Amino acid sequence: MLTYSFETIGSESMYEYLYHCIKTDILQKKLKADEKLPSKRVFAKNLGVSVITVENAYAQLAAEGYIYTQPKRGYFVANLDKQTLHPSLETSQNGLQSKKEPAYYADFVKNSVAPDSFPFSVWAKLLRNVMDTESQASLLSDTSVGGVMKLRQAIAEHLYQFRGLSVEPEQIIVGAGTQYLYSVIIQLLGRKLTYAVEDPGYTRLSKIYASNDVQCCHIPMDDCGVIPESLKECGADILHITPSHHFPTGIVMPVSRRYELLSWAAQENERTIIEDDYDCEFRLFGKPIPTLQSIDVMEKVIYINTFSKSLAPTFRISYMVLPKHLVNRFYSQLGFYSCTVSTFEQFTLARFISEGYFEKHINRMRTYYRKQRDAILKALRQSELNPYITIQEEDSGLHFLMEVATDVDDAQLIDAAKKSGVRISCVSQYYHGTPDHKTHKIIINYSGLESAKIENAIQRLSQSLVEGVLSL
């Protein structure tokens, strides 16, 4: 059976990624002319995706002439004229080189999941149940911009039980990834306002705001999160933060700072806080940190979360919870949009949550990630690197910090690790400007590291740093 991994999907939709995978195999002759492709239903079941994902990929391939159909027989690979093929997959028709990421033995930067950690069998079963029991009209009709109501109800119940949030399903808006929802929020709140982000922080976020033509300022942080005085000085109207587990520092914002920021937001009508709770499910010890939205009595917080961390990066389903006073504005201004997530996937996810599979998956993954983290920490303690390092923020989320006692530049640390096949990043890379301190902190993101590679990966990293730069 034809099979593809969705680990490297990046920002593409699932059907676009599948289309490119099949197209590549056709161009590389891995799929031969006139070879029969799997049926849509069988292929979708094997990949763990919706039938409509496969259908859209096939439709695009057929439209471009890479495959053809025969009535009642299915889809077949087209017999392409050799002279029309690209001379190599590295070069496109206009001669530009396609970008390829280098292969690493271990990648402590990329967000991914182990292939055997996703509940494919459960998902396939629920997808079949949806196909068999949901009405064809509901599966094929264009849903509200907010998403399928059954999914929004399931999310509302999950938020109440897991995060202590009491929200109405109508407040929940489902979208294909948080990056899409960020742009929706900008349209809703307005481009004339000033948006503020954390510094250091998620660098792609400021690029998204810049691409949407809004003014963006970067607020410095202390050990409690963004500094209120700096926030006031920049004149921001909208503050985008990750209070429960900041990336990359791992800071958990204390409740005193949260109330300070809520007080700031309450002082002006237009002020709003966007609370990004991107990996709240993976606090490895203790109870999840209460959300900022749960203590907001002035309706100043837009809560946003994603299933990309809890299920897989390729799972492009996210959602936001709007304050009640913004719900009517959203539907009056942006109600003409269609929901950007497949109806099939929404119904399936709704059952995955409401029937208890999501909670079981999260509990299982917490145990798995705790073992991953413990194995990495043990390997670091037993390595040559141990005398040089201090571990920080290891109990929340899927990464921790490893501070290295050295005067060597971060770029040299990164380059030394790269030469041994290990990819790392440093906190200094996530500042908007130049950091005002000289600490060297490596981010150890272990979400996609294979268990069998941990010991060897740490050995490679240790040798590359100790022998390559630290002992010079």
Which amino acid would we find at residue 374? D
What is the token pair recorded at 60? 């695009």
Length of the chain: 472
Distance CA 153, CA 157 (A): 6
pLDDT mean over 384-402: 86
Which residue bears the tokens 């039980």? 161
Band (pLDDT 50/70/90 cuts) for residue 288 is low
Q: What is the CATH number of domain 360-470?
A: 3.90.1150.10
For 116, 235, 279, 361, 432, the CA distances from 400, given in Å and listed in that order, are 23, 32, 13, 22, 21
Band (pLDDT 50/70/90 cuts) for residue 405 is very high
Q: Which of 320, 74, 276, 331 is nearest to 173 (CA)?
A: 320
Q: Which of 199, 213, 205, 214 is nearest to 179 (CA)?
A: 205
pLDDT digits (tens, 9 = 90+) for 95-134: 445 455 567 899 999 887 776 778 889 999 999 999 999 9
pLDDT digits (tens, 9 = 90+) for 441-465: 999 998 888 889 999 999 999 999 9
- Please answer whether residues 197 and 214 qualify as being in contact, where contact means their C-beta atoms are separated by less than 8 angstroms: no
Band (pLDDT 50/70/90 cuts) for residue 334 is very high
pLDDT mean over 436-442: 83
pLDDT at 174: 96
pLDDT at 16 over 80: yes
pLDDT mean over 422-436: 89
- Please answer whether residues 205 and 186 qualify as being in contact, where contact means their C-beta atoms are separated by less than 8 angstroms: no
pLDDT digits (tens, 9 = 90+) for 222-243: 999 999 999 999 999 999 999 9
Choosing among 3.30.1360.10, 3.40.640.10, 3.20.20.140, 3.40.228.10, the CATH entry for 134-355 is 3.40.640.10
Distance CA 362, CA 307 (A): 11
Q: Which fold has domain 14-93?
A: Arc Repressor Mutant, subunit A (1.10.10)
pLDDT at 284 over 60: no
Domain boundaries, the chain: 14-93, 134-355, 360-470
pLDDT at 196 over 50: yes
Distance CA 178, CA 13 (A): 13
pTM: 0.76
